[in-house]
């Protein structure tokens, strides 16, 4: 399975993803970044591999300070969105749409536009996924 086949969900631009390698039940953390409406502090999402499962974990959090700056070692290793389990990708995409006020197909259109602009600026899409 190629990377493009693995990640059928468009990659949100304004997030940072982390994996602590299974040191805790909330193995994955995603920090929502960018200047979205209503932002006041740092919104994040902590998840197990299956956040929708009755025995899974998916919890929203907020902190007045950015939780992954200046260092993020307490959250684990920085990973790409595509490296999150599929259920985690779905939860992150759902929250991302809500945070940014994106409805339906608009999300995919915005993603394609960001990809095209970045590609035209000379960076390949794979090179920017983990930068924002």
Residue with tokens 């902190």: 63
Report pTM.
0.73
- Res 101: pLDDT: 82
Residue 78, both tokens: 């920085």
For the purposes of burial, counting CB atoms within 10 Å of the CB of 87, is it exposed (0-12), middle (13-18) or buried (19 or more)? Answer: middle
DSSP 57: -
What is the overall mean pLDDT for the chain? 82
DSSP 126: H
Instruction: Indicate the domain borders of the chain.
Output: 14-102
Instruction: Please identify every stretch of the chain with a pLDDT value under 50, giving residue numbers as ranges.
Output: 1-6, 124-132
Q: How far apart are CA 33 and CA 96, in angstroms?
A: 10
């Amino acid at each position: 399975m190629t990377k493009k086949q693995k990640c059928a969900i468009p990659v949100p631009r304004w997030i940072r993803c982390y994996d602590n390698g299974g040191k805790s039940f909330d193995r994955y953390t995603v920090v929502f970044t960018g200047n979205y409406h209503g932002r006041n502090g740092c919104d994040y999402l902590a998840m197990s591999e299956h956040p929708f499962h009755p025995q899974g974990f998916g919890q929203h959090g907020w902190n007045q300070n950015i939780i992954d700056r200046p260092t993020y070692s307490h959250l684990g290793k920085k990973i790409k969105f595509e490296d999150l389990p599929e259920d985690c990708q779905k939860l992150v995409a759902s929250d991302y749409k809500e945070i940014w006020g994106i409805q339906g197909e608009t999300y995919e259109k915005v993603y394609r536009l960001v990809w095209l602009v970045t590609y035209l600026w000379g960076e390949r899409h794979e090179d920017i996924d983990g930068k924002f």
